[in-house]
Structure formats: C-alpha cells, structure tokens
C-alpha cells in the first residue's frame, strides 16, 4: 500500500490540472450512507421490496408528498454530517495552489464546507431548498410544515423541495457540459467512491484524454473505455489522509 500511496502522491505532484470525480463513497466516512454498493441504501430498499427509483422520484413526491417528506423520529434522526479527511485534503490541495476541480455525484455540500471552491454538483444540492411555485430559496432550518408534514412556502403555500435531481428529472445541462470540459482538460483523473453505474457518471469519465487515471474505491468498478494506472481498494478518506499535507508539500 505504501508504494501505491507514493505513486498517487507523484501523480498529484506532476499534474497541472486534476479532476476528482467522486460519489457517495467519499462521504460514507462522514456518516452518510452510500447507495449502489452491496450494502448501500438502494440495495437495502430493494431487499425490503421497495423500488428506490419510485420512492425517490419526482412523480412520487408530487403524488405522495406526505410520505416523501416524512421526517424520522427525533431519536433516529442523523446528526449533521461533517467533512471528513477526503474533503479536507482536497480543500488543502486547492489552498496549496494546485488546480484541483471536483465533479461530485453527492448533494451534501461537504466539499464546499471543507473549503473547496470549484465543485460541480451533478445531482443538484441538498444544502438549499426552493418553492416549486415561486422559486424562493430556503435553508432546511427555515422550513415550516403543514399538518401533514409537507414543507410549505409561507408566501404562496407552494411545496418546498430540495434542489436535488430526482428520478424522472434531467441534470442541469450547463453542469454536465462544464463537467465534460473539466474532465477533458485535466491530465489526472481521480475516480473515488463511486460505482460508475448510473447516468451521467458512467459516461462523463469517457471524456478524459489525459495522462493518468486513479481509482480509489472499496470495490472494483467497470471502466471499459479507460486505462486504470492505479487502483487503491480502500476508503477514500483513509487513503487521502495518508498523503503528505499539501500545505507542506506544494507551497
């Protein structure tokens, strides 16, 4: 493993522009569940006979908002997640003046909270909500709910929903294009914590034409159109925490 960490450090040091392409596995060390691994949230729902594509769809939200927006009991409500070693390492790379650009499938905003400034969110954002009628924006803590537990805009009583991409909705075309351009312009692509099994993730990495591809994941992933130069089978935060502090290395 030490040899792989040294190789990763060398790739980072030599790269002029780095794209970090991350999925749910980047945030699992912050206490958030992953989705499509063998122990992920989707598999858990499927074992219960629930189709996650139905439960997490726009149609279900509109037809059954009282179920979609149901809150967990206070005893089981998760604590607010905090950035982990992976998020902080990437932010420090940018602080150390390395050109690191993040393309993420996550909606948790942990990269931004850690200090990263170039973050493209493929699936939208859960760190703000908006009224579906008037498009006023709200923080989660500001939400007021009706007698059925549905978040309502205090101005026009429209449903307030998270700014995430649900099943049945298309990603923002401008974000997709920026992600393609970012990946195509980079000379190092780090794919981390993702199964690369869903659109648009499984197609975007095909735009990479640079020097090196690194995969950091707890399971092997299919990359038929990419040559993998380095595969580290381990948690993302645990891996990046073994690298030298960028502020001591690149400044």
pLDDT tens per residue across span 133-172? 999 999 988 999 999 999 999 999 999 999 999 998 999 9
Q: In tens digits, what is the pLDDT along the chain, a chain of 251 residues?
A: 599 999 999 999 999 999 999 999 999 999 987 766 555 666 677 777 778 788 889 999 999 999 999 865 443 445 789 999 999 999 999 999 999 999 999 999 999 999 999 999 999 999 899 999 999 999 988 999 999 999 999 999 999 999 999 998 999 999 999 999 999 999 999 999 998 888 778 899 999 999 999 999 999 988 888 999 999 999 999 999 999 999 999 98
Verify that 237 and 133 share a domain, yes or no. Answer: no
The three state secondary structure string of 135-157 is: CCEECHHHCCECCCCCEECCCCC
The pLDDT, as a whole number, for residue 75 is 39
Return the number of other C-beta atoms located less than 10 Å from residue 183's C-beta: 21
107 and 131 share a domain? no
> How far apart, in Å, are the Cα atoms of 187 and each of 15, 82, 103, 183, 217?
6, 30, 15, 8, 20
Q: Show which of 164, 192, 220 is a domain's final residue.
A: 164
Q: Look at strands 212-216 and 188-192 and give their pairing.
A: parallel
Indicate the number of domains in the chain: 2
203 and 177 inside one domain = yes
Same domain, 177 and 223: yes
Report the predicted TM-score, pTM, of the whole model to 2 decimal places. Answer: 0.90
Residues 117 and 189 placed together within one structural domain of the fold: yes
Is residue 13 within 8 A of residue 248, CB to CB? The reply is no
**Residues 191, 236: one domain?**
yes
Q: Does residue 133 share a domain with residue 17?
A: no
User: Would residue 55 count as lying in a domain?
Assistant: no
- Do residues 178 and 192 both lie within one domain? yes
> For the segment 102-130, what is each residue's pLDDT rounded down to a tens digit?
999 999 999 999 999 999 999 999 989 99
Q: Which of 87, 123, 127, 212 is catalytic?
A: 123
**Radius of gyration of the chain, Cα coordinates, nearest whole angstrom:** 19
Known catalytic residue at 123: yes
The answer to the question of residue 71 being in a domain is no
Determine the structural domain holding residue 22 and report its residue range. Answer: 2-31+83-123+170-249
Residues 191 and 242 in one domain: yes
Same domain, yes or no: 206 and 227:
yes
Order the strands of the 137-138 sheet from edge to edge: 137-138, 124-131, 160-164
Residues 150, 118 share a domain: no
Residue 13 lies in a domain: yes
Q: Please tell me whether residues 107 and 220 are part of one structural domain.
A: yes
């Amino acid at each position: 493993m030490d040899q792989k960490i040294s190789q990763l450090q060398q790739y980072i040091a030599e790269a002029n522009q780095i794209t970090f392409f991350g999925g749910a596995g980047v945030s699992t060390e912050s206490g958030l569940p992953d989705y499509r691994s063998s122990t992920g949230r989707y598999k858990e729902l499927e074992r219960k006979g629930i189709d996650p594509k139905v439960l997490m769809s726009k149609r279900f939200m509109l037809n059954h908002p009282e179920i979609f927006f149901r809150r967990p009991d206070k005893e089981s409500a998760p604590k607010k997640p905090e950035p982990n070693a992976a998020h902080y390492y990437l932010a420090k790379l940018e602080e150390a003046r390395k050109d690191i650009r993040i393309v993420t499938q996550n909606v948790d905003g942990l990269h931004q909270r850690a200090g990263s400034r170039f973050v493209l969110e493929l699936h939208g954002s859960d760190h703000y909500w908006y009224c579906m009628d008037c498009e006023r924006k709200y923080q989660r803590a500001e939400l007021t709910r009706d007698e059925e537990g549905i978040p309502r805009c205090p101005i026009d009583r429209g449903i307030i929903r998270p700014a995430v991409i649900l099943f049945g909705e298309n990603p923002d075309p401008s974000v997709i294009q920026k992600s393609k351009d970012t990946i195509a312009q980079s000379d190092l692509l780090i794919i981390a914590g993702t199964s690369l099994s869903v659109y648009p993730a499984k197609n975007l990495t095909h735009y990479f034409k640079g020097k090196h591809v690194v995969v950091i994941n707890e399971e092997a992933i299919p990359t038929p159109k990419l040559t993998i130069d380095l595969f580290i089978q381990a948690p993302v935060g645990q891996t990046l925490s073994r690298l030298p502090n960028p502020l001591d290395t690149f400044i």
